Amino acid sequence: MASAARARSPMNGTVVGANFSVEITIGGDVAGGDAAACLVGVGVDIDAGVIAPKHSHPGEEIVYVIEGILEYSLEGKAPVRLKAGEVLFIPAGVIHSAKNVGKVKGSELATYIVEKEKPLVTYLK
């Protein structure tokens, strides 16, 4: 359908800064926008003892831990442990991994501000 027919909630819109433009689309169609980046929210569950292997993203990742204890290793930095309610910022392109170091399931909300047309996750070979 034409973009005029797109359903827009009050949360949707475009944020334009000095050197960035981010289209915020929640629960809607991100195609058809002309912004270079889009906002993506993903819920991730990691079972106890499991490692999410080294990867990177074509943009920033903001991690919010919902439950459990997750340890994040960013390239060139000491690992950091986050528990429920804590937040971590991962800069664009920085290789990182996450491990559930607790005894129960860990959950995070990962929010990405990423370039369109690129894979959200690139795993290290």
37-46 vs 21-24, strand pairing mode: parallel
The runs of H, that is alpha helices, within 27-100 are none
Instruction: Fill in the per-residue mask, 3 to 42: x = in contact with Zn ion (CB under 5 A), - = not in contact.
Output: ----------------------------------------
Piece in contact with Zn ion (CB under 5 A), picked from 25-33, 58-66, 72-80, 112-120: 58-66
Piece in contact with Zn ion (CB under 5 A), picked from 9-17, 21-29, 55-63, 72-80: 55-63
Spell out the residues 6+ positions from residue 92 whose beta carbon is closer than 8 angstroms to its own: 57, 58, 59, 60
Asked if 61 and 112 count as a contact pair (C-beta separation under 8 A), the reply is yes
Give 9 or 89: the residue with its C-beta nearer to Zn ion.
Answer: 89
